[in-house]
């Protein structure tokens, strides 16, 4: 399993080389990998469909309880098969669709890496590993959407998708950390078995909200739905892949995966069902009034994601069964239809349904399978889409609450869904021939037809024999979403009942709507104006706001005045120290003044006097002299208190300092009075606060010792190990020799800098 996922990244790394060697056949050659993975995952099928779930684990960061563990059950296997199976068609399709594109090699790298991340995401058992793969899919899909990087729109919308999904990812990270705290483990398999503990935990509500933000942004639920149609800036194979089996389904996967541990509560049901139903309706409504081929398909994906979220929220056995069947049906027809959209673009140059018509004679095979897929999209008997839709309607009618509003939205969606299916399945192929930008001379090549043909046919096969999909995997998948075996089954014919009646009604109403499509679209023109105030507007406002804030912050903080930097640093330090002292109840209790001896008093008097003089004097020479006096007195302190070496160093350095200051400062002008008295008082106040803080800190730490000093070791080992009797020297050149080496580097750097500045001045004069 580990090698299966790693192999995608390995092959991704060598993909450009493979592409150079194999040339035109590169799509087929690289397609071997997803095909092999598909077969590998298929080998798990017998065990999984009999209800087993398999956990495979490799230690990764054992100290942090993070393992690279994988969970193979019905749900993850269904996803893995879709990802690798559709991945095969995408790779071979892209090989022809992007043939001759100068960055095709890079495209293979990203799409294979993306596939690996997606597989990792759905198979991971460890939450942290899952999160890492989750973010990897965001990053790789950013690169895929922005593949045409010379196009400003592609860059802009790639960034939009990235910011929305990664922003949600941040919330998700917080959510899964809380989930692990509540569930007591980072392993999904253990958390899922502890559902009751999680649901009753005090963190349940916050972690649910955070995880839902993560899932909703990724799966483009209202109000985050706007990024998904924009991601159509990607090349068509990418759209086909992102929409059918991967990326946007990741959020749905997460919801389904966590259903056994988070689901079943009132808030879970209400939130998911409502947001899902709203998203479903918004998606299909916007799809109906769009005309761009990919736009229509993208919005219908939003509809599908909403449907899935709603079904998971409803959470009854029928609903979960419906969700898994719908997931499979949607992946099949949406993958096929996007590839058809790519063929339309590739062969006829048509990107808009208004530019198309009567193409069935020019592209007969494409037309046939596009219609088959569109029938599944519309939920027409006997396709698999019909099976899924019947179950969906049934579970909405039996929902544990909100039946009225859910049913209303579901019926409206069904009607509009039929109309959208008609737009996709009838408009380009029938009617009078419309002049397309390119005249198709031949049918699309086999590499591009393989996907639509196989995927659309599977929709028919599963429709005619729903038991095949049911017993194969859908039942096991629904069981892992429910966390218990599922009793429901898939069937083409449920008898004459309400769902069937709604289906029949929606077929007629949807057909009528399609008949009057042009008028209906004109009547809906107001939506464009309304969209001005939609969530995407909020996104752009937020981005502008971010830029504004950072400009403001740069203006305020990076103002170029050293004194304001110093003030900010001092205020921050004093503030943080003050807060910390409050929090940890630091007190200055053990202060007792000892009687000072006369020489100590003298030293302190000199220190204070020279310090005050250095600050207050208006003479530069006076200030330098005061500094010298201060420095030599400090040296005296060192000598008096048993630090002879330090004292010697201080005397030497102080001498040099005074000479240097006298030499250089007298080439500069004298002190000027630059600030007003009020400013001086303000600065003095700030300085006194900082100084007072230092004093308090010192007083409170004088008697504190939290850990044993390591000095004792130096004292004991100086002679035996360091062969030196001056312990300070041994510390400097032996125990802490590297520090001394660093010190020498600093001096050398300073010397080089000084030398350079003096030399350049000499050259200037010449």
> DSSP readout, 124-160?
B-BHHHHHHHHHHHHHHHHHHHT-STTSHHHHHHHHH
Contact 249, 327 (CB under 8 A): yes
- Give the CA angle between residues 296, 301, 304 to the nearest 5°: 130
Does 558 interact with another protein (rule: CB under 8 A)? Answer: no
Q: Is 315 exposed, middle or buried (0-12, 13-18, 19+ CB in 10 A)?
A: buried
- What distance in Å separates the CA atoms of residue 452 and residue 86, rounded to the nearest whole number? 10
**Token pair of 206 as six digits:** 């916050």
Peptide bond into 382 cis (omega under 30): yes
Per CB under 8 A, the list member of 567, 577, 586, 609 interacting with another protein is: 567
**Which residues sit opposite 66 in a β-bridge?**
61
* Window 248 to 307, contacts with another protein (CB under 8 A): none
Per CB under 8 A, the list member of 15, 136, 162, 731 interacting with another protein is: 731
Residues near 368 by beta carbon (within 8 Å), at least 6 away in sequence: none
Only one of the segments 187-195, 219-227, 335-343, 748-756 lies at the binding site for another protein (rule: CB under 8 A); that segment is 748-756
Residue 756: CB minimum distance to another protein, A: 9
Does 497 interact with another protein (rule: CB under 8 A)? Answer: no
Residue 556: CB minimum distance to another protein, A: 15
Of 530 and 710, the one with the shorter C-beta distance to another protein is 710
The 8-class DSSP code of residue 100 comes to T
Does 690 interact with another protein (rule: CB under 8 A)? Answer: yes
Residue 610: CB minimum distance to another protein, A: 10
Per CB under 8 A, the list member of 596, 602, 619, 621 interacting with another protein is: 596
Kind plus residue range of the DSSP H or E element containing 68: strand 66-72
**Which residues sit opposite 187 in a β-bridge?**
126
Does 699 interact with another protein (rule: CB under 8 A)? Answer: yes
Does 322 interact with another protein (rule: CB under 8 A)? Answer: no
Q: Is 533 exposed, middle or buried (0-12, 13-18, 19+ CB in 10 A)?
A: exposed
Of 525 and 704, the one with the shorter C-beta distance to another protein is 704
- Give the CA angle between residues 94, 97, 99 to the nearest 5°: 95
Per CB under 8 A, the list member of 17, 531, 571, 687 interacting with another protein is: 687
Of 43 and 642, the one with the shorter C-beta distance to another protein is 642
Would you call 266 helix, strand, or coil by DSSP? helix
> H-type helices in 350-435, by residue range?
364-378, 384-397, 403-425
Per CB under 8 A, the list member of 106, 155, 521, 620 interacting with another protein is: 620
* 706-725 footprint of another protein as x/- string (CB under 8 A): ---xxx--xxx-xxx----x
Does 580 interact with another protein (rule: CB under 8 A)? Answer: no
Residue 577: CB minimum distance to another protein, A: 13
φ and ψ at residue 389, rounded to 5 degrees: -70, -40
Does 149 interact with another protein (rule: CB under 8 A)? Answer: no
Residue 703: CB minimum distance to another protein, A: 9
Does 738 interact with another protein (rule: CB under 8 A)? Answer: no
Only one of the segments 213-221, 303-311, 440-448, 745-753 lies at the binding site for another protein (rule: CB under 8 A); that segment is 745-753
Does 727 interact with another protein (rule: CB under 8 A)? Answer: yes
Contact 428, 434 (CB under 8 A): no
- What distance in Å separates the CA atoms of residue 81 and residue 119, rounded to the nearest whole number? 9
Does 132 interact with another protein (rule: CB under 8 A)? Answer: no
- What distance in Å separates the CA atoms of residue 577 and residue 697, rounded to the nearest whole number? 9
Does 758 interact with another protein (rule: CB under 8 A)? Answer: yes
**Token pair of 307 as six digits:** 């449907």
Of 13 and 571, the one with the shorter C-beta distance to another protein is 571
Of 106 and 620, the one with the shorter C-beta distance to another protein is 620
Only one of the segments 19-27, 466-474, 577-585, 591-599 lies at the binding site for another protein (rule: CB under 8 A); that segment is 591-599
Does 674 interact with another protein (rule: CB under 8 A)? Answer: yes
Does 576 interact with another protein (rule: CB under 8 A)? Answer: no
Peptide bond into 223 cis (omega under 30): yes
φ and ψ at residue 591, rounded to 5 degrees: -85, 120
- What distance in Å separates the CA atoms of residue 646 and residue 635, rounded to the nearest whole number? 7
Tokens 């194999």, residue?
Answer: 22
φ and ψ at residue 58, rounded to 5 degrees: -125, 135
Residue 734: CB minimum distance to another protein, A: 11
Q: Count residues contacting another protein (CB under 8 A)?
A: 98
Does 662 interact with another protein (rule: CB under 8 A)? Answer: no
Residue 575: CB minimum distance to another protein, A: 15
Of 430 and 671, the one with the shorter C-beta distance to another protein is 671
Per CB under 8 A, the list member of 757, 762, 763, 766 interacting with another protein is: 757
Does 761 interact with another protein (rule: CB under 8 A)? Answer: yes
- What distance in Å separates the CA atoms of residue 580 and residue 703, rounded to the nearest whole number? 18
Does 683 interact with another protein (rule: CB under 8 A)? Answer: yes
Of 2 and 567, the one with the shorter C-beta distance to another protein is 567
CA atoms within 13 A on the CB side of 253: 29
- What distance in Å separates the CA atoms of residue 204 and residue 440, rounded to the nearest whole number? 57
Does 732 interact with another protein (rule: CB under 8 A)? Answer: yes
Does 604 interact with another protein (rule: CB under 8 A)? Answer: yes
Q: Is 565 left (phi over 0), alpha (psi -120 to 50) or beta?
A: alpha
Residue 587: CB minimum distance to another protein, A: 15
Does 747 interact with another protein (rule: CB under 8 A)? Answer: yes
**Token pair of 590 as six digits:** 């053990």
* Window 640 to 659, contacts with another protein (CB under 8 A): 640-646, 649-650, 653, 656-657
Per CB under 8 A, the list member of 102, 441, 667, 766 interacting with another protein is: 667
Of 56 and 747, the one with the shorter C-beta distance to another protein is 747
Does 751 interact with another protein (rule: CB under 8 A)? Answer: yes
Residue 747: CB minimum distance to another protein, A: 5
Per CB under 8 A, the list member of 7, 189, 271, 740 interacting with another protein is: 740
* 80-119 footprint of another protein as x/- string (CB under 8 A): ----------------------------------------
Residues near 436 by beta carbon (within 8 Å), at least 6 away in sequence: 348, 349, 350, 355, 356, 359
Of 39 and 749, the one with the shorter C-beta distance to another protein is 749
Residues near 74 by beta carbon (within 8 Å), at least 6 away in sequence: 48, 49, 53, 473, 475, 476, 477, 478, 479, 480
Does 520 interact with another protein (rule: CB under 8 A)? Answer: no
Contact 211, 179 (CB under 8 A): yes
- What distance in Å separates the CA atoms of residue 70 and residue 3, rounded to the nearest whole number? 12
Of 101 and 620, the one with the shorter C-beta distance to another protein is 620
């Amino acid at each position: 399993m580990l090698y299966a996922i790693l192999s995608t990244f390995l092959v991704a790394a060598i993909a450009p080389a493979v592409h150079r060697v194999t040339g035109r056949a590169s799509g087929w050659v690289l397609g071997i990998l997803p095909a092999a993975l598909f077969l590998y995952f298929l080998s798990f099928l017998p065990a999984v469909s009999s209800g087993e779930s398999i956990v495979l684990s490799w230690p990764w960061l054992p100290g942090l309880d993070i393992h690279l563990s994988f969970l193979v059950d019905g749900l993850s296997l269904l996803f893995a098969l879709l990802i690798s199976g559709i991945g095969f068609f995408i790779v071979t399709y892209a090989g022809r669709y992007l043939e001759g594109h100068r960055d095709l090699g890079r495209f293979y790298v990203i799409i294979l890496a993306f596939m690996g991340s997606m597989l990792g995401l759905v198979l991971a058992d460890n939450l942290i590993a899952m999160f890492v793969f989750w973010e990897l899919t965001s990053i790789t899909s950013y690169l895929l959407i922005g593949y045409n990087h010379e196009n400003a729109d592609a860059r802009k919308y790639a960034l939009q998708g990235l910011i929305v999904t990664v922003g949600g990812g941040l919330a998700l990270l917080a959510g899964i950390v809380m989930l692990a705290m509540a569930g007591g483990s980072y392993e999904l398999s253990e958390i899922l078995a502890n559902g009751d503990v999680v649901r009753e935990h005090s963190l349940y509500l916050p972690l649910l909200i955070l995880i839902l933000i993560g899932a909703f942004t990724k799966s483009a639920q209202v109000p985050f739905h706007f990024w998904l149609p924009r991601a159509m800036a990607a090349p068509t194979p990418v759209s086909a892949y992102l929409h059918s089996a991967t990326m946007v389904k990741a959020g749905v996967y997460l919801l389904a995966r966590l259903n056994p541990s988070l689901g079943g509560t009132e808030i879970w049901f209400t939130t998911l069902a409502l947001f899902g139903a709203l998203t479903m309706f918004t998606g299909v409504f916007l799809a109906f009034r769009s005309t761009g081929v990919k736009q229509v398909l993208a919005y219908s994906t939003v509809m599908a994601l909403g449907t899935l979220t709603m079904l998971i929220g409803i959470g009854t056995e029928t609903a979960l069964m419906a969700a898994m069947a719908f997931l499979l049906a949607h992946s099949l027809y949406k993958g096929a239809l996007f590839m058809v959209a790519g063929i339309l673009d590739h062969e006829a140059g048509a990107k808009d349904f208004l530019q198309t018509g009567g193409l069935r004679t020019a592209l007969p095979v494409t037309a046939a399978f596009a219609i088959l897929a569109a029938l599944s999209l519309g939920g027409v008997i006997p396709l698999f889409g019909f099976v899924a839709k019947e179950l969906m309607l049934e579970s909405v009618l039996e929902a544990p609450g909100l039946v009225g509003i859910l049913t209303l939205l579901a019926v409206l969606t069904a009607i509009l869904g039929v109309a959208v299916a008609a737009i996709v399945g009838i408009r380009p192929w029938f009617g009078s021939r419309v002049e397309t930008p390119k005249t198709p001379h031949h049918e699309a090549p086999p590499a591009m037809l393989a996907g639509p043909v196989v995927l659309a046919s599977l929709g028919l096969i599963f429709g005619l024999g729903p038991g095949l999909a049911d017993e194969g995997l859908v039942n096991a998948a629904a069981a892992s979403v429910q966390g218990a075996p599922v009793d429901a089954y898939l069937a083409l014919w449920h008898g004459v009942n309400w769902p069937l009646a709604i289906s029949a009604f929606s077929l007629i109403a949807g057909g009528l709507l399609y008949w009057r499509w042009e008028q209906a679209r004109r009547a809906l023109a107001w939506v464009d104006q309304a969209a001005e105030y939609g969530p995407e507007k909020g996104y752009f406002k937020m981005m502008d706001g971010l830029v504004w804030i950072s400009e403001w912050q740069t203006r305020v903080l990076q103002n170029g005045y050293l004194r304001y930097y110093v003030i900010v640093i001092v205020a921050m330090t004093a503030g943080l120290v003050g807060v910390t002292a409050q929090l940890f109840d630091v007190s200055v209790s053990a202060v007792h003044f000892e009687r000072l001896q006369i020489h100590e008093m003298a030293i302190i008097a000199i220190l204070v006097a020279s310090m005050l003089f250095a600050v207050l004097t208006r003479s530069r020479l006076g200030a330098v002299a005061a500094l010298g006096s201060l420095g030599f007195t400090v040296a005296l302190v060192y000598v008096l208190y048993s630090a002879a070496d330090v004292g010697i160093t201080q005397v030497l350095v102080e001498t040099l300092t005074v000479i240097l200051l006298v030499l250089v400062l007298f080439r500069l002008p004298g002190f000027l009075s630059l600030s007003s008295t009020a400013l001086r008082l303000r600065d003095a106040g700030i300085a006194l606060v900082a100084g007072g803080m230092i004093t308090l800190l010192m007083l409170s730490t004088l008697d504190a010792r939290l850990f044993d000093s390591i000095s004792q070791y130096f004292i004991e080992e100086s002679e035996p190990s360091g062969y030196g009797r001056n312990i300070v020297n041994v510390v400097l050149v032996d125990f802490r020799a590297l520090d001394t080496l660093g010190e020498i580097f600093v001096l050398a750097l300073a010397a080089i800098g000084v030398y350079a500045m003096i030399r350049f001045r000499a050259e200037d004069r010449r």
